[in-house]
Amino acid sequence: MRHEANFIGRIVGEIDRQLNNKRSLDIDFPVGIESRLEKLSKELRIESSNKDVRMVGIWVMRVRAANPGGLVSLQEQLLSETLNRSKMKDVGFVDRGTIMIKEKFQHRKLLVIIDDVDKVEQLEALARSHDWFGPGSRIVITTRDEQLLKPRVDDIYVAEKMDEEEALELFIWHAFKGCHVNEEYVELSRRVVSYCRGLPLALKVLVSSLATQSKEVWESQLDKLNTIPPEDVVNKLRISYKGLDNKDKDIFLDISCFLYWNGQEVCHADIGREIVCEESYYDPGKRSRLWHQEDGTDEIQGLALNLEISEKASFNAQAFENIRRLKLLQLNYVELTDGYKYLSTNMLWMCWHGFPLPSIPNQFDQESLVAMDQQNSKLILVWEESKELALAGCSLTEDAIPKDLRSLISLADLNLGNNGFRRLPSLGGLSKLQKLRLDDCINLTAIPDLPTNLTVLQAVGTSKA
C-alpha cells in the first residue's frame, strides 16, 4: 500500500537506468504509476543530451514522517549515501557542510532525491544552487509546500492523487491478494475507498483491519468511520498537523470543522474534528469549535448550525451574549430573535444562507468581518467594508439587486450566481474586484463595463451572456 513511496521508487529506478545504475526495484502492485512516471520523465528530460543541471520539484499531498535529525545530520546523510561511504561525522556545522557538498558534487553527474522538505533552510543546506552539481545531474525535491519550490526549481510536477478506480483496484488487490471477489465485497470496498478519498495511508490502515473479515464486520467498521476515524490514521496525520505553525493549525481546524460539509476531504476533516474533540472529550462546552447543535459553550471560536431550508428554526440571540471569542459563525436557515447586538464583534467569517432580513441591521457591528456568504437570502443592502460577498440564489432581479452594490469599494470577490436578473448594473467603480461569479444566471443578456482589476469572470450555465 506504499503507493506514493513506490512511485518515488519507480522514479529512482527509471532515472538510475538512464544513468547506467543497476539498482533493482520491488513494487508489489504499481497501480497508475506508469502514466505518472511518464509525465515526470518529461519534466526531468532524462533523454536529453543537454548537460545542464535540472531541478524538478514534486508537490505531494501526503503525510509527513517525523524527522528527528537537524541540518548537519541531513548533510552527513546526503554525503555518505551519495559517495557510498560510511556515516560521515566530520561535517561539524552547516556552513562547512554546504562547502563539502559543493566540492564533492560539482564535478559528478548525480541523481539526488531530497524527500519531504518542509523548510527553506533544508534546501539552502542541501541543494542551494544548480552549480553545486555536475553537468547532466538531476535533482528531485518532494514537498507539501509548493511555495518552497517556485523560486528554485526548473519545473514543478504535481503528484496526482489516485482516482477512485485506481484506489479501488489497489485496495481490492491488498485486501484479497488477487483472489476472486464477490460483488457484495466490491460494493463494500467502494464505500471504503470513497471514505479514504485516495489517501494511501487510510487505505492501508483499513486494509489491515478488514482483510479476511466477514461482511458484518466490514459493515460495522464502515458505520464507525462516520464518527471515529481510524486511530493509526489520526496518529500519523497528527505528525503533519504538529508541523504547522499556530496560525496554520487554526486555519486547518476551522476548515475541518466548518467548511467540508459535502464529503470532500472527509478523512482530513475527521482528523481535524478529532483533534478539537480531544480538547475536552466529556464536556463539549470547553472545546474551541462546535458543529453539533446540541453542544454549547461560552469559550468557542467557531460555531456551525447547519440546517436545511426545510428545517428553518428560531433562536434567541441572547444565547450569544457571553461568546465573545467567536470568529467563525455558520447559521444556515436560522432566524435570531431579540436583536443582533449580542453577536461577537470579533468575527472574521460568517455563513448565513437564508438570512431573513433585507438589510444588515445597524446593531450588527462587524468591523472585523472579511467574508460573508448569504446565499438564498432576502438581503438587499450590505456593508461598504465587505471583501467577499455571496448572494447566489437570492432571487435577485434588476429591481432587487442591492442598491449600494457599487459602493462596496473593498469588495474583491462577488458571487451573484443563480439569480434572475437580465442585466447587471455597472460595476466599474469596484476598483478592487478580482473575481465575479455569474453561474446559472440564465436570463442574463448583457454585462456592462467591468472593473479593470477583474481577473476571473465565471459564467458557467449562462448561455445568453
Residue 118 and residue 52 share a domain: yes
CA end-to-end span of the chain = 49
Residue 204 and residue 141 share a domain: no
Alpha-carbon span 315 to 328, nearest angstrom? 18
What secondary structure letter does DSSP report for 405? G
- The tens digit of pLDDT for each residue in 413-461 reads 888 888 888 887 778 778 888 999 888 888 888 887 788 888 898 888 8
Its pTM stands at 0.51
DSSP per residue, 25-71: ---S--TTHHHHHHHHHHHHTTT------EEEEEE---PPPP----H
Residue 126 and residue 17 share a domain: yes
CB 140 within 8 A of CB 59: no
DSSP-based three-state secondary structure for 130: helix
CB 257 within 8 A of CB 302: yes
Residue 189 and residue 77 share a domain: no
- The tens digit of pLDDT for each residue in 127-143 reads 999 999 999 899 999 98
pLDDT value of position 22: 36
Residue 209 and residue 175 share a domain: yes
Pairing type for strands 138-143 and 328-332 reads unpaired
The label of the residue with cell 438564498 reads 376
* Cα dihedral 353, 359, 363, 368 in deg (nearest 10): 60
Residue 60 and residue 192 share a domain: no
Is 79 within a domain?
Answer: yes
* Confidence check: pLDDT of 321 > 60: yes
Give the confidence band of 26 by pLDDT, cuts at 50, 70, 90.
very low
Buried b (16+ CB within 10 A) or exposed e, 175-201: bbeeeeeeeebeebbbebbebbbbbbb
Sign of CA dihedral 450, 401, 305, 365: positive
Reading phi first (left if > 0) and then psi (alpha if -120 to 50, else beta), residue 440 is in left
pLDDT value of position 130: 93
Residue 60 and residue 30 share a domain: yes
Alpha-carbon span 66 to 243, nearest angstrom? 9
Is 347 within a domain?
Answer: no
Structural domains in the chain (count): 2
Residue 95 and residue 69 share a domain: yes
What is the domain range of residue 193? 164-226
CB 322 within 8 A of CB 297: no
Alpha-carbon span 179 to 211, nearest angstrom? 12
Side-chain-side CA neighbours of 342 within 13 Å: the count stands at 14
* Confidence check: pLDDT of 7 > 50: no
The label of the residue with cell 491478494 reads 177
Residue 170 and residue 124 share a domain: no
The number of beta carbons lying within 10 Å of the beta carbon of residue 401 is 18
